[in-house]
Structure 1
Amino acid sequence: MQKRKRAVQSKITNYHANRSIKQNIIKGKVVIQNHGQSGPGKSASVQIYSSSIVDPSTGKGKLSAKAYLNHGKSKGHNGTKTRTYKIKIHVEPDFGIPGAFLMKNQHKHKFFLESVTLEIPDNQIIYFDCRSWVYPLRKTKSDRLFFSNNIYLPNQTPSALLELRRLELVCLRGDGTQERKEWDQIYDYDYYNDLGYPDKGQEHIRPVLGGSELNPYPRRVRTGCPPSSTEPSTESQTQTISLDIYVPPDERFSPKKLSEFTSNSIQATLHFVIADAKSLFKQDSRSFESFDEIRDMFSSKRSQAVEGKVKEKLKGKVKEKLKGKVKEKLKGKVKEKLKKLVPYEHFKKITYASKEDLMKFPLPQIITENELAWGNDEEFGRQMLAGTNPTRIQSLQTFPPEGRNGVSTIQTSHIEHNLDGSTLLQAMNEWRIFILDHHDYLMPYLSKINTNGVCAYASRTLFYLRSDATLKPLAIELSLPGSCAGTEISRVFLPANQGTEAALWQLAKAHQKEIPFTTEYPMPPFTLICAFSRLHTHAVVEPFIIATRRQLSVMHPINWLLRPHFKDTMHINALARSILINSGGIFEKTLFSGQISMELSSELYKEWRFDEQALPADLVKR
């Protein structure tokens, strides 16, 4: 009888124990983006922290048992392949509500963690928007910590998360030493001291931007690369185009974004290398004799043009070179140049992509619709508002326009007949006269720029705001430094429809749009304003990203508010320093300002003020 009673009691105990275990299991889903590798599976584990119950032994929230990723299911959605793992996490009965989790990656590869969702009693859902790379434990030496999407001000943070929040910010700030590795989640400041290659020669030395009144510039994230052996103030650099420049894992592109960027970069690299390999065309010093030839380079009818007048020019050895070395794409010197420029894995992709027509540039939309639209004054006025120029265009306050170097040579008689019946004074009083001024900041640099076989001008362009809300070009003034210090030579160009004056007007518009390249680079027109746009849209934002990550926890509401505006910016900036704005980069090869492009950008930064960046303040100023 006693034995039977003990057996019944044992069953009751086991029943309650099993029931207790079932009641203290938290189910969840882990979503990982695939990027050409298998998922981490059981090599990755999750542990969750409580946000409501403190573990007295650690001062942090209670920590659950580990749950391993098992039985992942893959699916594709909007071009993105994901793998979803279902997990079950055992917790103590008084665990409370999850507020953070640790992800341990013991796999040999990194993976991109999209999100984690946990389901707790009463059908509550705790969501973690992660969107970050998780690197192998053997490299990081620590687990990755993620907080839930619940936001708190510091004084409202649950006590169980306070210590985790404090330790996270300490780690993110780092100690300002050592070279950063790909997996380091550290935000620290540095200057733009990685644009030159001084070890390669004097011609590759570039000034440090930032930290001085002469060359001010926004800060960038610190990479900690060792200094150059010949110029200690400059970081040493590799001589290849690298996509692996350091940015913290939370700032790196997702697999989908990285794939898109790589694809676009391949085509851009091909165009750049083909254009830069001028040694292949020594006997074909090609120049453009008319705007029609430039248009044909982009035109959908280019093949007909090649068979026509262009084909007639390309005879003998020149024709054979084009057949043997351009038509066959990446052969000979071009292929060797690519091998030196890019890492091997990217070289393979570029070689595969070279099956396409490399010399045929993408067709601009405006030419697709109307091959002659690019030359119209209406289109010229539209482009002043459709691109980056709206950030510099301003109402004309005084006439004639004045600058640091004196008064403009544009006269009332040049424009008053073109104001739709208004006088100049009436139009200015009605805020209808606008100026796009690329004069004062550019003039001091022109002598240096134009010694390199370039013909660039400083410009002032006046527009009239018509009643249909379009801009009508009135006059373009192009200027060069004079022979004596402090003097300049200027000429005013006016709209015209025929004859020599019409041709000069088209050339003036081309110079104003800042595309006066040397003809040995038949590249799609990059404009100097690209560099300045990058300054105002990307470079000035990076210090704010760094400061936000260092000072505001991911749970802080302001951090959450700014996150979508910061997305991918730091990675784009890093790639720009490696490919676009560095010594010998695409900007220096294609912009008329060449080696001093970034110095010009620094010159414009001297005008930048934080309190003028809000749109209302900016509009009032201009």
Structure 2
Amino acid sequence: MFCKEASSGLQTLNIAKSLSSEFTKPSALINPLSVGHRYKLCPRPNLRGRCTVTASKFDFDWITKERVKKIKVKGIITAKQGLLPSVGFTDLLGISLLVELISAETDPQTLMEKDPVKDHARRLVIDAHGEDQYECVFDMPEDFGAVGAIRVLNEAHREIFLKEMKLELPDGPVTFTCNSWLASKSDDPTKRTFFSNKSYLPLQTPEPLKQLRKEELETLQGKNRERDGQLKKFERVYDYDVYNDVGDPDKDPKLARPVLGGLSHPYPRRCKTGRKPSRKYPSIETRKGDFYVPRDEEWSTVKGTAFTGTTILAALPAVFPQIEAALVDPNMPFPHFKSIEDLFEEGIELPKNAGLFPVIPRLVKAVAEADDILQFDSPILLDKDRFSWIRDDEFARQTLAGLNPLCIGLVQEWPLKSKLDPAVYGDPNSLITSEIVEREIKGVMSFDEALENKRLFMLDYHDLLLPYVSKVRELDDSTLYASRTLFFLNDDSTLRPVAIELTRPQDVNKPQWRQVFTPGYDATSCWLWSLAKTHAITHDAGYHQLISHWLRTHCCMEPYIIAANRQLSAMHPIYRLLHPHFRYTMEINARGRQSLVNAGGIIESCFWPGKYSLELSSDVYDKLWRFDREGLPADLISRGWLWKMRQRNMGYA
């Protein structure tokens, strides 16, 4: 019968006889040729006719595999349906998902990956949270080993949000956390891979999972994409592009903006959309079509409804004209202080049935539906003291406890001096002198003692704004100065403003203009001081929105999100730590390019840089942004704060 060596022929024959009763055709054991298995002639004598061929190792494996016991493994999938209403035949049958289990172990004999086990998941129920439950039962070999991944194909005619899959294994339940949108196979016919919750570094990854990891990363990098052109959300491609879609010169030449990203205007990269370039301006990407982000970066339905950012952006074009119309003169939006207070006290009447109130809940204090009154929630400080905002102590407190505590820093060099070219911008030396400081701190200590004891702090926007002053002043209804604001640290650990310097650079027709303002005691000097504070705090507010918020918080984060998805597997421990912090940022940024930082958008309309807003943010990114100073404590060290964290209003103290 079977033998490889004459001495082992009888032993093999006994094995074959013991197995023959389990096969419907014993001839399959006697004659391997009848079932197409590999064979070879025995190189030894026939041993009295008992051996004619020698079976290969493949034959023996084929025999023994039939004896491997299989166990029933139940899987429960939790999912949510997409928003599309279409229902196909497989949906009606409840068969919508094809699921494969991938072993994390290789076959000990062949050292090859084990065959996956498959089953169709059938929909069971929809629970109280609106989630679907799918069930599948696998015939899993006992020696299948640990399940390292699952592969899922959505055979329904609509996308499905796959939340998780739980397998009931003999050793205990195992959960695969997915939290991902699964496109219909009509859009994406490839199977999606989801790895187990166990994290692996690349060198530690089980061999059967390495190819799956490679294929998944290639998909995210766009290497497996079969078509060109605009990206569709189900393609899940993370790729880089420059900021060439914030301007819209096709609509109006006045809306042209420089491309950000490159040597002339350094800038972080954004997510590639694949949209066509403008016909007139090939370097500009057309704004027609969706602002693509991968499907899993989009907001969930619940978050999209609750998060007011999107809906506020959609509502503002309708709200702003009503705010302007409620004022005396649209060209002078707030003719007196009372008109500002009216936003909180009386509200603004809006058009009937405008449908704006449900979408701006966080801005609305009270809504009288019959009258359609929009009433803004007043600041707590204003409720307590309506004139608190004009006082010096509150002005100083807001630099630390307000929106933008990220710019004020310790004075580490004296005298104050600009680093800009004096041939272009004029005298670089500041007019804030040690004598002015010593006079304003009123004999508490000498200037040298204040500097040595680290009691002087500064909000310095001088060199950042000075190159833009002349350009911004050419815009309609706009003005701008470069500013420096100096503070003194009191004994009670509060700050007090002592001087503000405003500067206008020289140009062809005018010499450089500079002036230092200090707290005054007569009506004229008091109002000049208040006006100087208004300029300084306006610069701080604009810098917060454009730089601290948009650039440093959102824009600079996007290339790291793209890189993490392109280079780190979903089972990499670093990726799993970063992913919760990254989620939805790309969607917010895409909507920001649509309505916030775009040409003629909210930032340009509401803040002093106007159409130069993103160009200014590019300069700040080029000159000031450093990755190694973005975290704590590096940021505080660079601004001189860490030496004594005793400032009670410092948000990080």
Q: Which band: TM-score by shorter chain? A: 0.7 to 0.9
Tell me whether 1:501 sits opposite 2:520 in the alignment.
Answer: no
What is the TM-score of this pair, normalised by structure 1?
A: 0.79
Amino acid at match of 2:636: L
- SS of 2:220's equivalent in the other structure is helix
**Cα deviation 1:52-83 (Å, max 9, x = unaligned):** 2469999655322123142133234xxxx544
**Cα deviation 1:160-186 (Å, max 9, x = unaligned):** 111111111111111495321111111
Which structure 2 residue ranges, 5 or more long, are not aligned? 1-20, 23-66, 361-366, 421-427, 640-653
- SS of 2:496's equivalent in the other structure is strand
- SS of 1:62's equivalent in the other structure is coil
Match of 1:587 among 603, 609, 626: 603
Is residue 59–residue 163 contact of structure 1 (8 Å, CA) maintained in 2?
no
Tell me whether 1:165 sits opposite 2:213 in the alignment.
Answer: yes
Match of 2:158 among 76, 84, 109: 109
Amino acid at match of 1:223: T
Pairing of 1:397-546 with structure 2 (within 5 A): 397-405=412-420, 406-419=428-441, 421-452=444-475, 453-484=477-508, 488-496=512-520, 499-514=523-538, 527-533=542-548, 534-546=550-562
Closer, same or farther in 2 for the Cα pair 1:157/1:145, shift >3 Å?
same
Tell me whether 1:260 sits opposite 2:283 in the alignment.
Answer: no
Aligned to 1:24: 71
Closer, same or farther in 2 for the Cα pair 1:22/1:575, shift >3 Å?
farther
1:389 offset after TM fit, Å?
A: 3.2
- The answer to which structure has the higher helix fraction is 1
What percentage of residue pairs aligned between the two structures are identical?
Answer: 36
1:430 offset after TM fit, Å?
A: 1.8
Tell me whether 1:302 sits opposite 2:317 in the alignment.
Answer: no
Closer, same or farther in 2 for the Cα pair 1:372/1:110, shift >3 Å?
farther
1:35 offset after TM fit, Å?
A: 6.8
Alignment partners' CA distance in 2, 1:589 and 1:288: 13
1:257 offset after TM fit, Å?
A: 1.8
1:229 offset after TM fit, Å?
A: 0.9
Alignment partners' CA distance in 2, 1:141 and 1:365: 55
Alignment partners' CA distance in 1, 2:453 and 2:327: 56
Alignment partners' CA distance in 2, 1:234 and 1:211: 14
Aligned to 1:381: 396
Amino acid at match of 2:465: L
- SS of 2:199's equivalent in the other structure is coil
Closer, same or farther in 2 for the Cα pair 1:57/1:407, shift >3 Å?
farther
Aligned to 2:274: 224
Alignment partners' CA distance in 2, 1:58 and 1:457: 73
Is residue 479–residue 490 contact of structure 1 (8 Å, CA) maintained in 2?
yes
Closer, same or farther in 2 for the Cα pair 1:414/1:201, shift >3 Å?
same
Is residue 461–residue 539 contact of structure 2 (8 Å, CA) maintained in 1?
no
Closer, same or farther in 2 for the Cα pair 1:404/1:31, shift >3 Å?
same
Amino acid at match of 2:560: F
Amino acid at match of 2:629: E
Amino acid at match of 2:73: I
Match of 1:89 among 124, 133, 138: 138
Aligned to 1:150: 198
Aligned to 2:117: 64
Closer, same or farther in 2 for the Cα pair 1:570/1:55, shift >3 Å?
farther
Alignment partners' CA distance in 2, 1:599 and 1:126: 51
Which structure 1 residue ranges, 5 or more long, are not aligned? 1-8, 11-19, 307-325, 339-345, 348-352, 517-525
Alignment partners' CA distance in 2, 1:63 and 1:582: 50
Aligned to 1:270: 315
**Cα deviation 1:158-215 (Å, max 9, x = unaligned):** 1111111111111111149532111111111111111111211211111110022x20
Structure of higher RCO (CA pairs closer than 8 Å, 6+ residues apart): 1
Is residue 260–residue 266 contact of structure 2 (8 Å, CA) maintained in 1?
yes
Amino acid at match of 1:599: E
Q: Which has the larger radius of gyration?
A: 2
- SS of 1:43's equivalent in the other structure is strand
CA RMSD of aligned residues (A): 3.5
Amino acid at match of 2:491: S
- SS of 1:24's equivalent in the other structure is strand
Closer, same or farther in 2 for the Cα pair 1:328/1:569, shift >3 Å?
closer
1:277 offset after TM fit, Å?
A: 7.4
Aligned to 1:251: 297
Is residue 599–residue 611 contact of structure 2 (8 Å, CA) maintained in 1?
yes
What is the TM-score of this pair, normalised by structure 2?
A: 0.75
- The alignment covers a number of residue pairs equal to 546
- SS of 1:538's equivalent in the other structure is helix
Is residue 73–residue 85 contact of structure 1 (8 Å, CA) maintained in 2?
no
Match of 1:204 among 230, 251, 255: 255
1:605 offset after TM fit, Å?
A: 0.7
1:329 offset after TM fit, Å?
A: 4.9
Amino acid at match of 1:450: R
Is residue 124–residue 132 contact of structure 2 (8 Å, CA) maintained in 1?
no
Alignment partners' CA distance in 1, 2:109 and 2:266: 50
Aligned to 2:332: 287
Is residue 47–residue 64 contact of structure 1 (8 Å, CA) maintained in 2?
yes
- SS of 1:198's equivalent in the other structure is coil
